[in-house]
Chain A
Amino acid sequence: MATDTTAPRVGMMLYGVVPSDVEPTGSAQGVGNPPADVTTVTEDDLAALVSDVPLDRPLGRPDDLTAYQRLLDGTAAVAPVLPVRFGTVLRDAEAIRQLLADQHDMIVPLLDRLEGRAEYVVRGRYIESAVIAEILDTDSDARQLREYIQGRPEQETTQQRMALGERINGAIEAMRQADTQTAVDRIGKVVEDLVVAEPTHDLDAVHLPVLVEQAHRAEFDAVLAELADGWSGRVEMRSLGPAAPYDFVDRLALARDD
Chain B
Amino acid sequence: MSVVQAGGGGGQSSSLADVIDTILDKGLVIDAHVSVAVVGIEILTINARVVVASVDTYLRFAEAANRLDLKSQEGSGLSDMVGGAKGAIAGHAGKRAIEGAGEKILSKAGDVLEQIAGPGEEDRDRPRRRRGG
Contact = CB atoms under 8 A, between A and B. Distances in A.
B3 A88 contact: no
B71 to A, nearest CB: 11
**Category for how many chain B residues contact A:** 35 or more
B59 A161 contact: yes
Interface in A227-254: 227-234, 236-244, 246-247, 249, 253
A36 interface: no
B111 to A, nearest CB: 12
B27 to A, nearest CB: 4
A258 to B, nearest CB: 19
Contacts of A23: 127-130
Given A23-B128, A58-B42, A90-B39, A225 B73 contact: no
Interface string B38-54: 11111111101111010
B64 A129 contact: yes
A217 to B, nearest CB: 11
Interface of A: 8, 11, 14, 16-18, 21-25, 27-29, 38, 40, 49, 53, 55, 58-62, 65-80, 82-92, 95, 98-99, 102-103, 115-116, 118, 121, 128-138, 142, 145-146, 149-150, 158, 160-162, 164-166, 168-169, 171-172, 174-175, 177-179, 181-182, 185-186, 197-202, 204, 221-222, 224-234, 236-244, 246-247, 249, 253
Interface SS of B by simple majority: loop
B50 A200 contact: yes
B61 A87 contact: no
Contacts, number: 358
A233 B53 contact: no
20 contacts: A14-B30, A23-B128, A23-B129, A28-B125, A74-B127, A80-B133, A84-B30, A86-B24, A90-B35, A91-B37, A98-B36, A132-B64, A133-B68, A137-B85, A146-B65, A179-B88, A200-B50, A226-B100, A229-B1, A234-B81
B118 interface: no
B39 A55 contact: yes
Given A230-B98, A233-B1, A75 B126 contact: yes
Interface in B1-57: 1-11, 14, 16-30, 34-46, 48-51, 53, 55, 57
B26 A165 contact: no
Given A165-B57, A229-B101, A249-B28, A242 B8 contact: yes
